[in-house]
Amino acid sequence: MRSRAYRKNYLLASAFFISTASLICATLLRSAPGGLSGGPLQKEADIAMPGPAVRFDYQSLDASQGRLYLSHMNANQLVVFDVRKREVIANLDGFPSVHGVWAVPELGRIYASATGEHKVAVVDMKTLKTIARVGPVKYPDGIAYAPGPKRVFVSDEHGNADAVIDTASNSLIATIPLGGGAGNTVYDSGSGHILVAVQAKNELVAIDPETVKILGRYSLSGIENPHGIALDVAGRLAFVAGEGNAKLAVVDLATMKLLDTYSVGDDPDVLAFDPALKWLYVSAESGEVTVFRANGKSLASVGRFSMPHAHTVSVDPETHLVYFPLQDVDGHPVLRNMRPVESNSLLLITN
């Protein structure tokens, strides 16, 4: 028979082992891909997408109608998805190498970059018919809409410019030279300005949509080849991702000063911001998704995970569902629906 001291030591050692094993398991769950319990996101559903298992690009959500528009780039198709019913309601052909897409509910129009034919397609929201093709634009990519002058601004990535479309006449009315490749183009409703990431210059450029003149050029020190942009309009912050060095810049929109930079996945592409939760999603060509929470003028880390081809992301600000079109899951494209999971500890990161 073993001694009482031996049994006591054995029980203590067993308790330590169980505690340590539990901690390791919890850590693995928090960092597991696909958002297992305890991670930043958890999977709700994979919805089958039409078309071949090839690359997607930008997305645009019309929250008023509950429709998500997705560019299925290498399929030359525009997919219309009902986020309320969780089903595809249309798959539109005739958009060669479609990149950017932007829904404008006030006009009842969808604008899509038909990059393969150097034009921007204009689609009627009710009929889902293409009513105009505007160009030429050398390499149309990201799209933004300025409601004041009712103009669409298009990143001409290889033309080193932003193209301007008048929505009343569906005509190209201006080309704004940027001095470098145009990354994403967005509209800041707080200032009423258009913002463009300029790759070769490593700058954020502000444009007056009324005069179509450049208002200012702002250096993004520490960022290489800025591309993706998302805005926290209420917090007056811009988030700009450098695809050349896997860094994210935070810019104060009140002063246009660079506040800080953060590490993200390799070759970051599309960003999305949930204004209610203050969560920022940075998706990368590497498949890594980095999630932050805006905390004043800083970012706090929520977590990160990886999924194959998860380089494009959108978020519904009402339901907080996050959408990732994944080109190849078991040989088929899917739209992965994910939901945030509140983390127990958010650490301020300063890297």
- Which of 171, 185, 249, 250 is closest to 214 using CA atoms? 185
pLDDT at 23: 38
Residue with tokens 């003149």: 213
Distance CA(264)–CA(243), nearest Å, equals 10
pLDDT at 35: 39
Q: CB of 97 within 8 A of CB of 78?
A: no
Distance CA(108)–CA(301), nearest Å, equals 38
User: Strands of 171-177's sheet, edge to edge?
Assistant: 140-146, 151-156, 161-166, 171-177
The reply to whether the predicted model has a pTM over 0.85 is yes
Does the domain made of 228-351 have the CATH classification 2.130.10.10? Answer: yes
- Which of 149, 148, 68, 147 is closest to 110 using CA atoms? 68
Distance CA(42)–CA(322), nearest Å, equals 10
| Rg of the chain in Å (alpha carbons) | 22
Task: Provide the residue ranges of all domains of the chain, joining segments of one domain with +.
Answer: 55-219, 228-351
Burial of 18 (0-12, 13-18, 19+ CB in 10 A): exposed
Number of other CB atoms surrounding residue 216 within 10 Å? 11
| Per-position b or e across 303-327, b if 16+ CB within 10 A of its CB | bbbebebbbbbbbbeeeebbbbbbb
pLDDT at 349: 34
- The domain covering 55-219 belongs, at the CATH homologous superfamily level, to YVTN repeat-like/Quinoprotein amine dehydrogenase (2.130.10.10)
Return per-residue pLDDT of the chain as tens, 351 residues: 333 343 344 434 444 443 444 433 433 333 444 434 437 999 999 999 999 999 999 999 999 999 999 999 999 999 999 999 999 999 999 999 999 999 999 999 999 999 999 999 999 999 999 999 999 999 999 999 999 999 999 999 999 999 999 999 999 999 999 999 999 999 999 999 999 999 999 999 999 999 999 999 999 999 999 999 999 999 999 999 999 999 999 999 999 999 999 999 999 999 999 999 999 999 999 999 999 999 999 999 999 999 999 999 999 999 999 999 999 999 999 999 999 996 433 433 333
Q: How far is CA 271 from CA 42, 87, 178, 291, in A?
A: 18, 24, 22, 10
For every residue of 19-76, DSSP letters joined together read HHHHHHHHHHHHH-TT--TTSSEEEEEEEEPSS-S-----EEEETTTTEEEEEEGGGT
In this chain, the answer to whether the domains covering 55-219 and 228-351 adopt an identical fold is yes
Q: For the chain, what's the residue count?
A: 351
4: left (phi over 0), alpha (psi -120 to 50) or beta: alpha
